Amino acid sequence: EKGDPKAMTMLGELYANAFGVPRDDAKAAAWYKRAADAGDREAMFELAMLRLAGRGGPVNREEAAKLLASSAKLGNPKATYNLGLMYLGGETLPQDVRRAAELFRVAADAGNPEAQYALATFYKEGTGVPKDAEKAARLLQAASMAGNIDAEVEYAIALFNGTGTAKNEAAAITLLRRAARQNNPIAQNRLARVLASGRGVPVDRVEALKWHTIAKTAGKGDPELDQALSTMSAEDKAKADAEVHKWFGTK
């Protein structure tokens, strides 16, 4: 009521996320709009996300792009990253991978893990920037340390193969185990492969079959592993099956 934009933004958060009040997207959008008009960069970002999702009003990608640009200009890393995604997608804004890379770099430098992962992918593939495996690995490491699971898996693979960083199979397997336990199918598949082959870790075909089966339920099949593990004894297969049931809580 006294015109504090931060308080307005917080009210928007409460209504958008049903924190202590019933969820009301229209009220959330209205409070975000007032705060955004008063210059609050967080409100600009949150209102942009509502406009993209069609919450509290119809989908409005053009307004969202303007809000993201304004928030990014005020130094909001999340807005900068999402504006980069819009330039990458080329639906609302003209597709410009170099501009997307620039925005990802700004957001990455500000510590945004999603931007770090996206920029790492750009360096890995040479999209909008020259290929640079070392820069990709450093960004993957930073995003991994900030909790980005996809980056954690990619960094583990880079460590395992020595791509852009010193080869370290033990550290890679530690990361794969952590990501596998967080239900990442790619990590589960890669962990199953190293356990089955004994590369960098003692062979454990029971655990390999466990993770292979779990990854398959998420659509990450692997015919080579099917073949490699097909000769296991009935007893070991039963052990792996019991571990799978324990994972899913079905027995």
| Token representation of residue 163 | 């791509």
Contact 153/190 with Cβ under 8 angstroms?
A: yes
The string of pLDDT tens digits covering residues 188-246 is: 999 999 999 999 999 999 999 999 999 999 999 999 999 999 999 999 999 999 999 99
Scored b (16 or more CB within 10 A) or e, 100-124 reads bbbbbbbbbeeebbbbbbbbbbbbb
Look at residue 233 in the predicted model and tell me its pLDDT: 96
**Per-residue pLDDT tens for 104-149?**
999 999 999 999 999 999 999 999 999 999 999 999 999 999 999 9
The DSSP line for 97-162 is HHHHHHHHHHHHHTT-HHHHHHHHHHHHHTSSS---HHHHHHHHHHHHHTT-HHHHHHHHHHHHHT
What pLDDT shows up at residue 12? 97
* Each residue's pLDDT tens digit, 43-99: 999 999 999 999 999 999 999 999 999 999 999 999 999 999 999 999 999 999 999
- Sequence-separated (6 or more) residues with CB below 8 Å from residue 222: 189, 192, 193, 212, 215, 216
Please give the DSSP secondary-structure letter assigned to residue 54: T
The SS3 assignment for 198 reads coil
Q: Is 94 left (phi over 0), alpha (psi -120 to 50) or beta?
A: beta
In the DSSP assignment, the letter for residue 10 is: H
